[in-house]
Amino acid sequence: MHRVSQMTFVCVFLCATAVHAQPREPTSREARDAFVRAVRLFDEGQRDEALALFERAWSLSGQPLILLNIAAAQEALGHPVEALEALERFEQTAPEAARAARRAQVEAAMGRTRTRVATLRVRADIEGLRVRIDGVDHAPETLNAGVRLVAGEHRVALEAQGFHSREVTLTLDGGGTHVLDATLERDPPLSLPPPLPPPPPPPPIVLATLPPLAPVVRAPPVRAVAAPRSRAVGLGLVIGGGAVTLGG
């Protein structure tokens, strides 16, 4: 199925780029070369390499028909969400004539992929809520609009400051929209530990008692002793023939 549809797209792409006789820009030649190599790799079963070249051809040329090849490669790789997005982009960008020519083919492909895609919405009124789906963070505005996921089982983790974290496992059916109410329990208020008992009073300070001082023994006053009065002995001196008497 993929081989027939891819060869049809190749023909359309080559015809569309060959209609103009004027010289083509180098990017157009690069886009065509990338597209041809992608088709060959796709037919050889190298889907990842083919997808990369299809996307390069699309970025270089902007040909809406290449989006159908991208969708086919994504579907073959088991990526229904990306395949559906490529088909929707084709519907938004392709001319009316191109859409009409491939309406049945595109509608069939969209019907197949939609049965394998589920939409998950997360309703929450918790400020700062962080939501991770299968380990990947998603912005709140994206969650309000709905996140497309492959149908099946998914792990959803909810976290917010001041609340208990919550993790749930959801099984999502394809083709439907599922709503998850993000309700979380608040953390209990912090309880302070009881106050510490007062420290014991310090032991009383006991002053050491000193023995009474011995009385000071005063020395008796020192009295001056008068020297006994001596009697003067008269000395007689003879001066110049006269006698002079000294003393009393």
pLDDT in tens, the chain (248 residues): 444 444 344 444 433 332 222 333 446 889 999 999 999 999 999 999 999 999 999 999 999 999 999 999 999 999 999 999 999 999 999 999 999 999 999 999 999 999 999 999 998 888 889 999 999 999 878 888 899 999 999 999 999 999 999 999 999 999 999 999 988 888 888 777 888 888 888 888 877 777 777 776 777 776 766 666 655 444 444 444 555 444 44
Residue 190: CB partners within 8 Å, gap ≥ 6? none
Q: What is the pLDDT of residue 177?
A: 94
Q: What is the pLDDT of residue 5?
A: 45
Transcribe 173-214 into DSSP letters.
PTTSEEEEE---PBPPPPPPPPPPPPPPPPPPPPPPPPPPPP
Q: What is the pLDDT of residue 222?
A: 67
Any idea of the CA torsion for 58, 62, 64, 70, to the nearest 10 degrees?
A: 10
In the β-sheet with 152-159, what is the strand arrangement from edge to edge? 136-138, 130-133, 152-159, 166-172
Largest CA-CA distance found in the chain, in angstroms, rounded: 188
Q: What is the pLDDT of residue 86?
A: 96
**How many residues appear in the chain?**
248
pTM above 0.85, yes or no: no
Distance of CA 209 to the CA centre of its chain: 72
Q: How many CB atoms lie within 10 A of CB 102?
A: 19
Q: How many CB atoms lie within 10 A of CB 89?
A: 15
Q: What is the pLDDT of residue 11?
A: 40
